[in-house]
Amino acid sequence: MKRINQTKISSLLILTSLVLVIALSGCGGSAPKVDWEFKVSGAVDKPLTLSFNDLVDMPQVDLTDIDMEKSTGEDEVTSWSGVPVDEIFKSAGASSDYVTITALAADGYAIEISKDELQGAIVALKDKGEWIAEVTPDKGPIRLVCPQTPANRWVFQLQEITVNK
């Protein structure tokens, strides 16, 4: 009788483990494999080069119900997840009295953004809970999202932020 109970218990544990593995694999929790680097330079103590995986491992925040004011097409309300720019600046030892940043995209597009416009900004890795690298690879894998400014001032395929005094 003991042997039957041990067999049943072992079978139940194996079945439970299998169900748990299958359930967790459907959660989409793991980040995609992405070969991307992002730099922070300028008025910083420690210039940084962060890989996509480095960004994934940093503290993340969610921005919900963000009004994405577009220069073309319909505006939309959306949600983003990523690393707070302030957290990245802290890691780089950015000067607290910086005035602007220059954000550079992979295609050479560059824009100057004021410190005020960067309030609450993130380097986004997810759009509406989905990895940008997977759902819009031509606009990713990361994006500078600044909720205090219209979306036409945000930068997709962000490659570098230069901190300016």
Same domain, 53 and 22: no
Same domain, 68 and 23: no
Same domain, 25 and 51: no
Torsion 40-112-140-108 (CA) sign: negative
pTM above threshold 0.95:
no
Residues 134 and 28 sit within 8 Å (Cβ to Cβ)? no
pLDDT digits (tens, 9 = 90+) for 44-102: 999 999 999 999 999 999 999 988 877 777 888 899 999 999 999 999 999 999 999 99
Q: How remote is the C-alpha of 96 from its chain's centroid?
A: 23
From the list 118, 77, 67, 73, the residue with the least C-alpha distance to 94 is: 118
Q: Where are the alpha helices (DSSP H) in the chain?
A: 2-25, 52-57, 85-92, 132-135
Same domain, 112 and 69: yes
pLDDT higher than 70, residue 115: yes
Domain residue limits at 93: 37-164
β-strand partners of 42: 163
Domain count for the chain: 2
Same domain, 3 and 49: no
pLDDT higher than 70, residue 143: yes
